[in-house]
Amino acid sequence: MSDGVGKVNVSDAVLGIEEKVIGWRRDFHMHPEIGLEEVRTSEKVKEHLSALGIPFKVYAKTGVVGHLDSGKPGPTIMLRSDMDALPMTEENDVPYKSVNEGMMHACGHDSHIAMLMGEAEILAKEGLERGSVKFCFQPGEEGRDGAKLMIKDGVLEDAPKPDVILGMHVWNNLPAGQTAALDGGCMAGVHEFEIEITGKGGHAAMPHQCIDPILIGSHIVTALQSIVSRKTNPLDRLVLSICQFHSGTAFNVIPPSAILCGTARMFDKEIAAEIPHMIEEIASGVARSLGGTVKIDYDIKLPPTINDPVVAAFARGILAGIVGEERVVDAEPSMGGEDFSQYLAEIPGAFVFLGSNNPAKNADMPHHHPKFDIDEEMLKVGVELALRFVRTWGK
Ligand SMILES: [Zn+2]
Ligand SMILES: [Zn+2]
């Protein structure tokens, strides 16, 4: 049981902006928008950056990146927030409940936008000592390829190129007050695949005249499970699930084809690179041995979110100064995916978990739950973390 966020060491500037950040968070919470359709959200962000005199550029239609430049040498640090909500109906009874039917900020991205706006405001007002900061407001994190689209639009290439990236997520898997910046993998890689099996159809009573794709598919489902722990080290976290098996139209007809669909989740980069070949080899080998063929559609949706150990250790050092060393914990990585991984595949950075679970504030539901809410006191911790990161990284 947690006592809530409790005592934390944050600056007067952050305390001074806390109420505003919570207000923004509640406004975004009330007006959630689905990935790649964050039109109002994007406008609010642009208005805010304009008012602060921070120039910005639009990426992936609703993405916005503000650039605060000191004009002096130093690192270019990218701070990233996602902006999208989920297509689901909110069941919370709060004054800031979603007014958009069938849409809800049930992952906490509303908090991320608000924190990043607060960070921009403080840094713009106090001025940067060195280098520059890019405030990256990214659309479409929830399965809509937002980060990929931003990168395609040049967000990591446009001058000055970011040297390092910091992302954070309010995290109801941890009690409010606790934080984590893990070394290495913190969120899983997400692969999706479809295997189309072609055999030869015919009469159910004369299977010897056929090549049965359902039998082939059944062997493939079983054989694929031998990847986990037989082809990969049992100590490496890997899940492979076949979630769809479609075939056939009648009791007495062996169909000509079958389709299997599934997903693989992993943390290790090498495994992520090998899995598509292992699946291909097993599926085509099994099919061939039974007289059929396969066609595989393989989609690497997301690489694993792999923190750079140097950046993660740096973030942990800062967090220890804010919440106390005992509340910088070794949290469990998540088998869920996070498209911050797309940036980490290109440049070093870290993804930080900000514990936000607090039953005393009705904030103890899991992410993506219709009653998801957070302990908003954690927002000031995120803002403080980003500010200290900007001021001290690379010094
Ligand atoms: Zn989510
Ligand atoms: Zn999320």
Note the pLDDT tens digit of each residue in 161-193. Answer: 999 999 999 999 999 999 999 999 999 999 999
Please name which of 390, 386, 326 lies closest in space to residue 3, comparing C-alpha atoms: 326
| Residue 32 near residue 105, CB atoms below 8 Å | yes
Q: How confident is the model at residue 269 (pLDDT cuts 50, 70, 90)?
A: confident
pLDDT at 3: 74
> Of the residues 241, 269, 302, which one is the last residue of a structural domain?
302
What pLDDT does 295 receive? 98
Is residue 293, in this structure, part of any structural domain at all? yes
Å from CA of 257 to ligand 2 middle: 38
C-alpha 4: how far from its chain's center?
Answer: 25
The verdict on 172 and 239 lying in the same domain is: no
Higher pLDDT, 37 or 395: 37
Within this chain, do residues 30 and 121 fall inside the same structural domain, yes or no? yes
> What's the whole-number mean pLDDT along residues 350-364?
98
Q: Verify that 351 and 271 share a domain, yes or no.
A: no
Q: Please check whether residue 363 lies inside any domain of the structure.
A: yes
What's 272's domain CATH number?
A: 3.30.70.360
State CA 271 to chain mean position distance: 19
Does residue 141 have an active-site annotation? yes
The CATH number linked to 332 is: 3.40.630.10
Over residues 268-291, the mean pLDDT reads 96
Whole-model pTM? 0.92
CA of 30 to the centre of ligand 1 (A): 17
Percentage above 90 pLDDT, the chain: 98
Q: Please indicate, yes or no, whether residues 23 and 135 belong to a single structural domain of this protein.
A: yes
Query: Is residue 241's pLDDT more than 60?
Result: yes
Residue 220 shares a structural domain with residue 336: no
Question: Is 5 a domain residue?
Answer: no
Same domain, 236 and 350: no
pLDDT tens for each residue of 331-346? 999 999 999 999 999 9
Q: pLDDT grade, residue 283 (50/70/90)?
A: very high
Number of domains into which the chain is organized: 2
Ligand nearest to the CA of 88: 1
pLDDT recorded at residue 2: 56
CA of 89 to the centre of ligand 2 (A): 17
Give catalytic status of residue 183 as yes or no: no
Residue 1 in this model has a pLDDT that exceeds 70: no
Q: Rounded mean pLDDT of 33-48?
A: 98
**Domain encompassing residue 155:** 12-187+304-392
pLDDT tens-digit profile of 9-30? Answer: 999 999 999 999 999 999 999 9
Domain assignment present for 1: no
Q: Can you list the alpha helix ranges (DSSP code H) found in the chain? A: 12-30, 39-52, 109-126, 146-152, 213-224, 269-289, 309-323, 341-344, 379-392
Q: Is residue 7 part of a domain?
A: no
- The strand pair at 253-254 and 184-187 is best described as unpaired
Average pLDDT value for the chain:
97
Q: Do 258 and 229 share a structural domain?
A: yes
Domain end (from 249, 278, 302): 302
Q: Are residues 291 and 326 in the same domain?
A: no
Q: Considering 302, 320, 342, which residue would you say is the last residue of a domain? A: 302
